[in-house]
Amino acid sequence: MNEKTFSLQPFSSTEQLPDVKITGNIITDVNKLAVHYTLLGDIKEVAIASPSEIPARKHELWQDTCFEFFLGIKDSQRYWEFNLSPAGHWNVYRFDGYRQGMQEEAGFTILPFSVQHLSDSLKLAVDVDLNKIVPAQQTLEVAITTVIKNQGGELSYWALTHRGAEADFHRRDSFIIVL
């Protein structure tokens, strides 16, 4: 088992950022991956979608508050983007290279995860069977990211690191957790 903790940083911008922190951990164990996020602070400033009665695979979840992670195999250009909405909606995309060949990952037909809405925090946890997309014993490179939409409708971008002049979660040099 391999476990790492994380704390996300906002992309510097002129926008007023919500007074929140995003922390969590990522665990791998025999080609299973678990990611746990905690959004702490003044979460009333954050636009958080209400839980959906029927969670579904949906596109463009990053237009609202969305917890994400990116997963690549070391020395391969291919990578996956996982999007998780506090409403319960989700999607997984596969890319052949940097922002190239984007398509829904057919290996996942459902992606169950849990969301806990508390008075001072929001917790989201997902467990992923990597056997659906990645052969066992591969060295994985991971980026943990989150898009936060404030109550005024402005988006802020949070990640382990921001390597470019613009917020860009797809940059492979930002996949800095190695598992």
How many structural domains does the chain have?
A: 1
Domain range holding 114?
Answer: 2-178
pTM: 0.96
- Residue 142: which CATH number? 2.60.40.1190
Averaged pLDDT in 10-residue chunks for the chain of 179 residues: 95 81 96 97 95 96 98 97 98 98 97 94 97 93 97 95 95 96
For residue 91, give every residue at least 6 positions away whose Cβ sits within 8 Å of its Cβ, in sequence order, or none.
57, 58, 59, 61, 82, 83, 104
